[in-house]
Structure 1
Amino acid sequence: MKMNRRNRKAAGFTIVEVAVTLVISAIFIIGIVRLQASVSQLSIQQVQRRIASDLAYNNLRKYANDNQPTWFRCEVAGGVAKPNVLINGNITVRGLPSPVSQKVVATAPYLCGGGTGGVGMPIRIESVVTYGSNHRKVVHVSYAAF
């Protein structure tokens, strides 16, 4: 007895089913690869920000500490205290993209008047680290007694 074509069971998948499966799998794999690349880039940026933040904070702590601020000279011109640039320059830092610049500036926002008990007006100390071609910036600010 001969089987006709309609009664025979199909073995395996059709070419359309295989193609659809491959397309869906490719879309899924491309999505995972893009997500992994994005997570890696964010991780690198976070490490760079931490390094820049540590540098800015360490520069700030050199001046905003418990010692008498002998490094600050208060000069007023036109009713405004002149800023004292304490650090200003380009450096190379492992882990940060070039160019890297650091700047620490001290100002007397309330001028140079003396206070009570031997403590004067506060000195505002700002430490800025800028890095990379897109000029990412980290800023730390503190006050010291003058």
Structure 2
Amino acid sequence: MVKMRTDEGFTIVEVVVTLLFISIISLGILTMHTQVSILSIINRQDQKASYLAYDNMRKYVNGAPPTWFLCTSQLPGAVQQVLLDSEGHISELPGTTKQKVVASAPYGCGDTVSSLGMPIRVESVVTYGNGKRVTHVAYAAF
């Protein structure tokens, strides 16, 4: 009596197709993970720059009288005073980071004496990486 041999297991074609399918799925997952990681890093950098710009602005707009602002003109927008202008490396931010805080009197000063209620515009800008900018603006009473 002759026994018929039955093939057990997978053919080479089935193995190749399965490996190809698993490779495509794995590559898709790896690509998505890489993109999420890059977006997370970019988001963290933006957040760090935003905190830095906000902190720089709040050093001047903090509820205290603006003794740091010297108003010498009654013309709107004529007075612009640079309060902070620095450049250097900040941890977690790529490249050179530039920080600038500028104060101006958009409606003029009215008088050179403080506490008359004229607003002072304080603009804080942080530039980092390839020209990415974060700006925070607030007003203080003069």
| Contact 1:91–1:100 under 8 Å retained in 2 | yes
SS at structure 1 position matched to 2:121: strand
**CA distance in 2 between partners of 1:78 and 1:61 (Å):** 26
State the percentage of identical aligned residues: 51
Cα 1:79–1:144 change in 2 (3 A) is closer
How many pairs align? 139
TM-score (norm 2): 0.88
Whole-angstrom distance in 1 between the partners of 2:7 and 2:27: 33
Q: Shift of residue 40 of structure 1?
A: 1.2
SS of 2:66's partner is coil
Shift of 1:78: 7.1
Instruction: Give 1:12 deviation, angstroms.
Output: 1.0
Q: State whether structure 2 residue 94 is matched by structure 1 residue 97.
A: yes
Question: Where does the alignment leave 5 or more consecutive residues of structure 1 unmatched?
Answer: none
Normalization by structure 1: what TM-score? 0.85
1:143 aligns with 139
Determine if the alignment matches structure 1 residue 120 to structure 2 residue 117.
yes
2-structure distance, mates of 1:80, 1:25: 64
RMSD: 1.9
Give the match for residue 20 of structure 1.
Answer: 17
1:53 to 47, 50, 53: 50
Match of 2:59?
62
One-letter code of the match for 2:93?
Answer: L
